[in-house]
Chain A
Amino acid sequence: MRETKEKRGVAFTIFVHMVLIFLAFLCLFFFYILIINSTRDHYQIQKGFSFLPGTHFMENLHNVLNDANIPVVSGIKNSLLVSVGAAVLATYFSALTAYGLYAYDFKLKKPAFIFIMLILSMPTQVSALGFVRLVEKMNMMNTLWPLFLPSIAAPAVFYFMYSYIQASLPMELVEAARMDGCSEFGTFNRIVLPIMKPAIAVQAIFTFVQTWNTYFIPALIISDNSKKTLPILIASLRSADFLKFDMGKVYMLITVAIVPIIIVYLLLSRFIVAGVTLGGVKE
């Protein structure tokens, strides 16, 4: 009796592992083909599928970086600039807002909090039309500013910061800093920010990745080739006459757009996976 139960347990464990391996395979396989194909030249790719890498990695990379129609180098630069800008603004100002709502008592405190909670998941697409018109009026079309300045108001980042600050900032610390003559801004910058470092790091990564990947709004604002970010370049590749393209180059451009993120993710994965729900679980 006991033995059959154990056997069934073993069979079930094996089944579970098979499902997990299948899902992991699904997640990895496409990226595996991507990497393989980015190392092969157009002719090899057309000839058929292979599990083994080719020898044209550097050649493809060189071709992608030097294509006059797809300014990849400036694309990487623009994407980096916008993503870093958004990450810095979103984390700093969200922490500031969270601290403001946590540490001070004022009349509009509760309404302000409820308001942010209500707009927490409101997509920015709903006001895209007004946003583009506004950017036109501000003479900021074809500039990178409108792609990261709005990150100052990031409700989702705020919410994370607020939860974190609630769990980890004792008000006694703030009061002690005041006693020592620290100004309110000084207290925030020198006492509160360092305590919030883990939350800031996690949110900086998420905001960076999200901005790095955004396509909809940037595509409406940017039309100038030298200002395009990577997602817009990828989209322009798709709208070009696809069959005329060197496929090695196509795969290489996709690689350039996503592999840096994958590498950073793998290096920080423990931290990032934990960060998805940081503070939400009682230890």
Chain B
Amino acid sequence: MKGRSGNKGVSYAKWGYIFIAPFFIAFFIFQLIPLVSTIYYSFFEYYRSGLKIIGPNPVGFDNYKALFDSDFLKYMGNTLILWISGFIPQIFVSLLLAAWFTDLRLRIRGKQFFKVVIYMPNLIMASAFAMLFFALFSDNGPVNGFLMSAGIIDKPFRFLSSVVGARGLVALMNFLMWFGNTTILLMAAVMGINPALFEAAELDGCSHLQMFFKITLPMIRPILVYVLITSMIGGLQMFDVPQILTNGNGNPNRTVTTIIMYLNNHLYSKNYCMASSVSVILFLICAVLCIGVYFSLNSGDDGMGGKKRKKKKGGVSV
């Protein structure tokens, strides 16, 4: 960071504070106070029983004990499975596309068209997208209609009543919504690699595959780490898609209930003990991941690291 000011003996320091004040005040009010009070509530007995509000009475770590005795770990597992089954195809396809799009020997027609199309699902309202999938994949929806008229199946496949079907749909939606974004981030990272490296490798008779594994992958490692961590954070936040798809019940048999859906249920039933202890656990995990993001953005000098969807790295060194 290089800021120069006050070279004439005038101090501009106070303006620095004034300019950053709104951000920090808003952060303090809308994020820090809520966070602190969430942590505070997690140590109290505080819930609604019928029309009565019980508590708040201090109970130490009882809420956390109760939390781990509940189905919390199962929902943790669900979230992990849903995230991984979307992320693996996503990173695989994105790496492939990024390598193809940046390969100059490969003349792809309509490159811009493909980029525009694959990025599009990222901007779609997740709840509307889930509602659309629900309508399309319902027992007598168009997908079943199509599969039956094509003679592939005799009777409707009940996607939302099968564990694999429901989880598969969530994973498919997450894949569709994020692979374009990841492709574009990875492409930018690949294009940031010094072309001389590829030229030298080509002169030495390296194949496409060798170049990909020996040059491209190691060079874009910082951004791969970044994509992985931000995707994990995104996965932990997974809510809209499974919530709307299953109407909040996570069926079949709560196998697609994610942590945030669980949190949401407790917030609605005003069970503040559970809601706050889930939040705190989530906060601790995210805090660790955020430190990971911090280091992934500040490591390496290849100048690229974007956050999912909206950012790129600062300090582009020329």
A residues sitting closer than 8 Å to B (CB atoms) are 9, 12-13, 16-17, 19-20, 23-24, 26-28, 30, 33-34, 37, 45-46, 48-49, 93-94, 96-97, 99-110, 112-114, 116-134, 146, 149-150, 152-153, 156-160, 162-163, 166-167, 171, 184, 188, 203, 206, 209-210, 212-213, 215-216, 219-220, 230-231, 234-235, 237-239, 242, 247, 250-251, 254, 257-258, 261-262, 265-266, 269-270, 272-273, 276-282
Docked complex Cα distance between A94 and B26 (Å): 12
Q: How many angstroms from the CA of A127 to the CA of B282 in the assembled complex? A: 10
- Any A CB within 8 A of the CB of B80: no
In the complex, the answer to whether A281 meets B191 with C-beta atoms within 8 Å is yes
Cα A198 to Cα B283 in complex, Å, equals 34
* In the complex, B76 has a CB within 8 A of chain A: no
Q: How far is the CA of A242 from the CA of B96 in the complex (A)?
A: 40
Q: A109-B1, A120-B307, A276-B119 are in contact. Are A30 and B133 (CB under 8 A)?
A: yes
Q: A24-B117, A281-B191 are in contact. Are A163 and B311 (CB under 8 A)?
A: yes
Q: Of A105, A257, A269, which is within 8 A of B5 by CB? A: A105
Cβ B279 vs Cβ A129 within 8 A? yes
Q: Is the CB of A277 within 8 A of B244?
A: no
The number of A-B residue pairs with CB atoms under 8 Å apart is 364
CB of B31 within 8 A of CB of A46, answer no
Which A residues are CB-close (under 8 A) to B113? 24
A120 touches B290 (CB 8 A): yes
B67 in the interface (beta carbon within 8 A): no
| Interface size grouping (class) on chain B | 35 or more
Among A163, A184, A258, the residue within 8 A (CB) of B15 is A184
Contacting pair A16 B314 (CB below 8 A) = no
**Given contact pairs A126-B279, A129-B41, A13 touches B135 in the complex (Cβ within 8 A):** no
1/0 per residue, CB under 8 A from A, across B104-137: the answer is: 0111110011111111110111111101111110
CB-contact partner of B240 in A215, A230, A262, under 8 A? A215
Contact, CB under 8 Å: A206 / B309: yes
Shortest C-beta distance, B151 to chain A (Å), equals 14
Q: Is the CB of A105 within 8 A of B316?
A: no
Of chain B, the residue at the smallest CB distance from A232 is B127
With contacts A97-B22, A273-B116 taken as known, whether A153 is within 8 angstroms of B303 at the C-beta atoms is: no
The answer to whether B304 touches A277 (Cβ under 8 A) is yes
Q: How far is the CB of B275 from chain A (nearest CB, A)?
A: 5
Q: Please judge, given known A-B contacts A121-B286, A234-B125, whether A159 and B314 are in contact too, CB under 8 Å.
A: yes
- Within 8 Å by CB of B19, from A26, A104, A269, A281, lies A104
**Could you tell me if A130 and B22 are in contact, using CB atoms closer than 8 angstroms?**
no
Contact segment of B196-204, B211-219, B260-268: B260-268
Complex alpha-carbon distance, A131 and B276, angstroms = 11
Interface SS majority for chain A = helix
B118 touches A234 (CB 8 A): no
Q: Give B contacts to A, CB under 8 Å.
A: 1, 3-6, 12-20, 22-27, 29-31, 33-38, 41, 93, 96-97, 100, 105-109, 112-121, 123-129, 131-136, 138, 140, 142-143, 145-146, 149, 176, 179-181, 184-185, 187-188, 191-192, 229-230, 233, 236-237, 239-240, 243-244, 247-248, 260, 263-264, 267-268, 272, 275-276, 279-280, 282-283, 286-287, 289-291, 293-294, 297-298, 303-307, 309-316, 318
Chain A neighbourhood of B313, CB < 8 A: 163, 280
Q: Are B17 and A280 in contact (CB-based, < 8 A)?
A: no
Q: How far is the CB of A219 from chain B (nearest CB, A)?
A: 8
Cβ-defined partner of B125 (8 Å) among A23, A132, A184, A230:
A230
B3, A104: Cβ atoms closer than 8 Å: yes
Q: Give chain A residues whose Cβ lies under 8 Å from the Cβ of B126.
A: 213, 215
Q: How far is the CA of A96 from the CA of B145 in the complex (A)?
A: 54
Q: What are the 9 closest A-B residue pairs judged by CB atoms, nearest first? A: A100-B19, A130-B34, A280-B312, A104-B16, A152-B26, A153-B27, A277-B188, A150-B30, A163-B314
A273 to B145, CA, bound (A): 36
Residues of B within 8 Å of A129, CB to CB, are 34, 37-38, 41, 263, 267, 272, 275-276, 279
Given A101-B1, A120-B293, A184-B12, CB of A215 within 8 Å of CB of B239 = yes
Q: Which residues of B contact A213 (CB under 8 A)?
A: 123-127, 240
Please tell me if the beta carbons of A261 and B117 are within 8 angstroms of each other in the complex. Answer: no
Counting chain B CB atoms within 10 Å of each CB, the highest count among A121, A122, A212, A219 belongs to A121
Q: Which residues of B contact A107 (CB under 8 A)?
A: 13
A128 touches B23 (CB 8 A): no
- Chain A residue nearest in CB terms to B32: A127
User: Most B CB atoms within 10 A — which of A28, A49, A103, A108?
Assistant: A49
Pick the contact of A282: B184, B280, B307, B318 (CB < 8 A): B318
Given contacts A104-B15, A160-B311, contact A279 B3 (CB under 8 A): no
Residues from chain A with a CB closer than 8 A to the CB of B15 are 100, 104, 184
Query: Distance in Å from the Cβ of B206 to the closest Cβ of chain A?
Result: 15
Interface centre among A107, A146, A257 (most CB of B within 10 A): A257
Given contacts A93-B22, A269-B116, contact A162 B237 (CB under 8 A): no
Q: Given A215-B240, A258-B128, A125–B135 Cβ distance below 8 Å? A: no
Whole-angstrom distance between the alpha carbons of A269 and B120 in the complex? 9
**A131: which of B27, B34, B280 is its contact (CB, 8 Å)?**
B34
